[in-house]
């Protein structure tokens, strides 16, 4: 097992080819020793009669054909875990980088994970209060859900992610069984620092596990970073019954790394140069969210991805949307109007919301109110485009009310402070105050009994 091989057949991109290899197994990890005595890691991604193609995680810079020594480890990529990982910081391949020394691993787990049996899943039902009205009210986050933030460069997605992570109130979770797994892929050191500082300020740092593959770190390693992070999350959630919130940022850098490696292997690209298996690859990450019916732990994922050119039809947001259970979309226009968080209400959706809100979860009137807000705000868009043609003065009276509602909705409901934590009652009450700007007859999505209770007829202006 410990045979070393001297020399490479070829080096190209992040790939090396080793010849004359014996007893190698598919996808096992290979240790690569460089001329200077450094050590790198790679994975066998193709295996022929006596050759192996190895993808080197740390890149091939400086590797020579003649002097490089390789050694088969006989194992897939593994992460050593124990409860000690809480509060620790690792690099993108799961090695501690906080100077606190090695983890005394209780066990080693294959980072690729195994598919969860649908029969063993527990359908996510319980809502997480994030304290953010646009999310709690309109795209409620559910424990065990994967709900990405679709954003653009320069938008405040990091602030939003921090706010969600620190305000999140998960039923059944307390200081002892709640933790955050933070996974950085190709983001700048500043961003990683920002998260760390904020977690520290909020006093949760010892409940955070960080995996950092920064923009200056090797692209190849980026592919395993989320897998390490999710392995840690699964260990905590399913072996220690903890509630884990996983923040993955930035999935766009991850996908670009995948594209780079795919093209260096001369694979046939699908859209925009991304490999045809991008969907399956994303799924192997996102599908690791969820709950099991055998334990009480949960993994809730908030992947962040910047949409190239703010284009939601770009393959990265598109294929993500096909796998995740809804999405929270941030919008540049709103942000430019000074609205934080700039959540674009109409394309944002939480698919699991319906089973986790309403009587017994949030409030009986929540589903109808949410529906009505969507309907009303979608009408606002139409009225606005009409107003831009014929002028606001020419609008019918009801339409004018809609414009007023639209403005108030954006300023008071969507917009809130970066530390403002609104509970669900505040959020729904606020919604009613805004809906009352509209004539009662306009609120057709709300059951009349609920309407009578919250918007009695005599109130009609």
Partner 1 sequence: MEVKGTIFSINGPVVKVVGSDGFKMYDQVFVGSERLIGEVIGVGDKHTVVQVYENTTGLKPGEEVVSTQRAMSVILAPGIIGGIFDGIERPLKVVEKQSGAFIERGLTVDPVDTTKKWKVEILAKVGDSVSGSMIIAQTPETLQIMHKVMVPPDVSGVIEEIVPNGEYTITDSIAKVKTASGKTVDIKLMQVWPIRIPRPHNGRVNVRRPLMTGQRVIDTLFPLAKGGTAAIPGGFGTGKTMTQHQLAKWSDADIIIYIGCGERGNEMTQVLEEFTSLSDPKTGSSLMDRTALIANTSNMPVAAREASIYTGITLAEYYRDMGYHVAIMADSTSRWAEALREISGRLEEMPAEEGFPAYLSSRLAAFYERAGYVNTLCKKEGSITVIGAVSPQGGDFSEPVTQNTKRFVRSFLALDRLLAYSRHYPAINWLSSYSEYVEELTPWYEENINEKFMGHRTRLIAILQEEANLNEIVKLIGSDVLPDDQKLVLQTARVIREGFLQQNAYHPSDTYVPISKQFLMMDIILYLNEKAREILSRSIPISQIIKTGIFEEIISIKYKVDNENLGKFDEYRALIDKACSDVIANNEVIKR
Ligand X SMILES: Nc1ncnc2c1ncn2[C@@H]1O[C@H](COP(=O)(O)OP(=O)(O)OP(=O)(O)O)[C@@H](O)[C@H]1O
- Stretch of 90-98, 109-117, 153-161, 249-257 lying at the interface with partner 1 (CB under 8 A): 109-117
Under the binding rule (CB under 8 A), the answer on residue 460 touching partner 1 is: no
Output 235 or 286, the one with its CB closest to ligand X: 286
Query: What would the x/- binding string for partner 1 be over residues 362 to 381, using CB under 8 A?
Result: -----x---x--xx--x---
Cβ at position 353, least distance to ligand X in Å: 7
Output 357 or 428, the one with its CB closest to partner 1: 357
- How far is 408 from 430, CA to CA, in rounded Å? 11
Query: What would the x/- binding string for partner 1 be over residues 4 to 23, using CB under 8 A?
Result: -------------------x
Considering only residues 336 to 365 of the shown chain, the ones binding ligand X according to CB under 6 A are: 351
Considering only residues 304 to 323 of the shown chain, the ones binding partner 1 according to CB under 8 A are: 313-315, 318-319, 321-323
Query: What would the x/- binding string for partner 1 be over residues 74 to 103, using CB under 8 A?
Result: --x---------------------------
Structure tokens at 293: 């019916």
Return the half-sphere exposure (C-beta side, CA atoms, 13 A cut-off) of residue 123.
6
Which of partner 1, ligand X, none is residue 386 near (CB under 5 to 8 Å by kind)?
partner 1
Query: What would the x/- binding string for ligand X be over residues 288 to 327, using CB under 6 A?
Result: ---------------------------------xx-----
**Contact yes or no for 275/258 (Cβ under 8 A):** yes
Under the binding rule (CB under 8 A), the answer on residue 325 touching partner 1 is: yes
**DSSP-derived pairing of the beta strands 298-306 and 290-291:** antiparallel
Cβ at position 348, least distance to ligand X in Å: 12
**Contact yes or no for 179/242 (Cβ under 8 A):** yes
**Contact yes or no for 399/386 (Cβ under 8 A):** yes
Structure tokens at 353: 């919301």
Q: What φ, ψ does residue 43 adopt, rounded to 5°?
A: -125, 140
Residue count at the site for partner 1 (CB under 8 A)?
76
Under the binding rule (CB under 8 A), the answer on residue 204 touching partner 1 is: no
Q: Write out the E strands in 352-410.
A: none
Residue from 71, 271, 337, 400 binding partner 1 (CB under 8 A): 271
Nearest position to ligand X, beta carbon: 351
Chain center to CA of 185: 11
Which of partner 1, ligand X, none is residue 28 near (CB under 5 to 8 Å by kind)?
partner 1
Output 95 or 351, the one with its CB closest to ligand X: 351
Which of ligand X, partner 1, none is residue 88 near (CB under 5 to 8 Å by kind)?
none
Structure tokens at 105: 């691993």
- How far is 278 from 60, CA to CA, in rounded Å? 23
- How far is 114 from 384, CA to CA, in rounded Å? 50
Cis peptide before 341 (omega within 30 of 0): yes
**DSSP-derived pairing of the beta strands 243-249 and 298-306:** parallel
Return the half-sphere exposure (C-beta side, CA atoms, 13 A cut-off) of residue 393.
0
Query: What would the x/- binding string for ligand X be over residues 196 to 235, using CB under 6 A?
Result: ----------------------------------------
Q: What φ, ψ does residue 369 adopt, rounded to 5°?
A: -60, -45
Output 108 or 279, the one with its CB closest to ligand X: 279
Cα→Cα distances 141→326, 344, 442, Å: 10, 16, 28
Residues engaged in binding ligand X (CB under 6 A): 321-322, 351
């Amino acid at each position: 097992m410990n045979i070393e091989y001297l020399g490479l057949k070829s080096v190209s991109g992040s790939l090396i080819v080793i010849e004359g290899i014996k007893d190698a197994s598919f996808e096992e990890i290979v240790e690569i020793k460089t001329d200077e005595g450094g050590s790198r890691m790679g994975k066998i991604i193709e295996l022929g009669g006596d050759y192996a193609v190895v993808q080197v995680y740390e890149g091939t810079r400086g590797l020579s054909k003649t002097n490089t020594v390789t050694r088969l480890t006989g194992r897939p990529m593994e992460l050593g875990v124990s409860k000690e990982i809480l509060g620790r910081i690792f690099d993108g391949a799961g090695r501690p980088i906080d100077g606190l020394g090695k983890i005394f691993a209780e066990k080693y787990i294959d980072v690729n994970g195994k598919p969860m049996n649908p029969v063993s899943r527990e359908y996510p039902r319980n809502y997480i209060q994030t304290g953010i009205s646009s999310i709690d009210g309109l795209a409620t986050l559910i424990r065990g859900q994967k709900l990405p933030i679709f954003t653009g460069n320069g938008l405040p997605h990091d602030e939003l992610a921090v706010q969600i992570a620190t305000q999140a109130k998960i039923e059944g979770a307390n200081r002892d069984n709640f933790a955050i797994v933070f996974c950085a892929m190709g983001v700048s050191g500043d961003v990683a620092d920002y998260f760390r500082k904020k977690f520290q300020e909020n006093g949760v740092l010892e409940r955070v596990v960080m995996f950092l593959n920064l923009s200056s770190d090797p692209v190849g390693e980026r592919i395993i970073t989320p897998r390490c992070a999710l392995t840690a999350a699964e260990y905590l959630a399913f072996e220690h019954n903890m509630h884990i919130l996983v923040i993955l940022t930035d999935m766009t850098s991850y996908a670009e790394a995948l594209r780079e490696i795919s093209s260096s292997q001369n694979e046939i690209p699908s859209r925009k140069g991304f490999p045809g298996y991008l969907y399956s690859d994303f799924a192997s990450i996102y599908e690791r969210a969820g709950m099991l019916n055998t334990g009480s732990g949960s993994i809730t994922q908030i992947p962040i991805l910047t949409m190239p050119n703010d284009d939601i039809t770009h393959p990265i947001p598109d294929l993500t949307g096909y796998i995740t259970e809804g999405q929270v979309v941030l919008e540049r226009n709103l942000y430019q109007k000074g609205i934080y968080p700039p959540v674009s209400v109409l394309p944002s959706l939480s698919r699991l919301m319906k089973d986790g809100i309403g009587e017994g979860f949030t409030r009986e009137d929540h589903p109808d109110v949410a529906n009505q807000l969507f309907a009303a705000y979608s009408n606002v868009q139409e009225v606005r485009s009409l107003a831009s043609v014929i002028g606001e003065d020419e609008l019918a009276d009801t339409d004018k009310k809609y414009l007023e509602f639209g403005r108030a909705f954006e300023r008071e409901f969507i917009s809130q402070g970066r530390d403002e934590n609104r509970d669900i009652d505040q959020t729904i009450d606020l919604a009613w105050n805004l809906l009352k700007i509209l004539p009662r007859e306009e609120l057709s999505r709300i059951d009349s009994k609920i309407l009578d209770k919250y918007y009695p007829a005599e109130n009609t202006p």
